[in-house]
Amino acid sequence: MYAIIEDGSHQFRVREGDRITVDRRDGQAGDELQFSKVLFIGGGDGSPTIGTPMIEGARVVAKIVNQFKAKKIIIQKFRRRKNMRRKNGHRQPYTVVQITSLALPA
């Protein structure tokens, strides 16, 4: 059985036991997260459930595995002949979660 969930502006196809990387969430390793924006559930009993746009009452439960920052990217702006140079860096924070269960609506 699998589900398609939405988190922020990203959609993920998840199964029980999968590890996915989502944008930073508050919490420590071992804490539980719930994703309530479930768009699709299928693959289990043969009859898929499609949301319009979400499935009411369905949720995906996950636990936080790790918090980390991505590799630093350099943002550089330069305008020729104007003596203008700007250099900036950014490290995007992410959270790794492991899917523990898929809960169908009651």
| β pairing state of 49-50 and 38-42 | antiparallel
Q: Residue 93: is it exposed, middle or buried by C-beta count within 10 angstroms (0-12/13-18/19+)? A: exposed
According to DSSP, residue 38 is labeled E
Half-sphere exposure of 98 toward its Cβ, with a 13 Å CA cutoff? 8
Share of the chain above pLDDT 90, in %: 89
For the beta carbon of residue 95, count every other beta carbon within 10 angstroms.
Answer: 22
Q: Do you know the residue count of the chain?
A: 106
Residue 88: strand pairing partners? 75
pTM: 0.83
d(CA 3, CA 12): 8
Q: What is the pLDDT of residue 45?
A: 73
Res 35 pLDDT > 90: yes
Is there a cis peptide before residue 48, judged by omega within 30 degrees of 0? no
